[in-house]
């Protein structure tokens, strides 16, 4: 498998996981519009994916161009900030911002 094929495979897996997390966040919030254990688990899974993405784009051998890496890093920071702020106050607007950004 070439490095491009591997990159495409990883990209597809990341896209799938981000979509899965967006659905889980939406479902958990729809079931109970407060920070429940299901919502916290969905948010944590989403955060884990963004931490992994941030780690991948920070590598010197990343195949993405510099602008894309910077944009993904900023987006990962945004997701982390929003996720941590929801521990204090979980609002519908904050949840929808994450879901729309993920889908």
Interval 64-73: pLDDT, tens = 889 999 999 9
pLDDT-based confidence at residue 103 (cuts at 50, 70, 90):
low
Mean pLDDT along residues 50-64: 89
Q: What are the C-alpha distances in Å from 39 to residues 1, 14, 26, 59, 62?
A: 37, 20, 8, 31, 32
Q: In 3D, which of 6, 42, 7, 4 has the Cα closest to residue 23?
A: 42
List the domains of the chain with CATH numbers.
Answer: 3-102 (1.20.120)
CB 79 within 8 A of CB 42: no
């Amino acid at each position: 498998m070439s490095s491009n094929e591997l990159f495409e495979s990883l990209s597809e897996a990341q896209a799938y996981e981000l979509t899965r997390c967006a659905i889980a966040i939406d479902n958990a919030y729809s079931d109970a519009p407060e920070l429940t254990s299901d919502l916290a688990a969905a948010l944590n899974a989403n955060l884990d994916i963004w931490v992994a993405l941030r780690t991948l784009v920070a590598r010197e051998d990343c195949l993405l161009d510099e602008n894309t890496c910077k944009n993904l890093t900023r987006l990962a920071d945004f997701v982390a900030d929003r996720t941590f702020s929801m521990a204090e106050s979980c609002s519908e607007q904050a949840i929808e911002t994450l879901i729309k950004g993920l889908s």
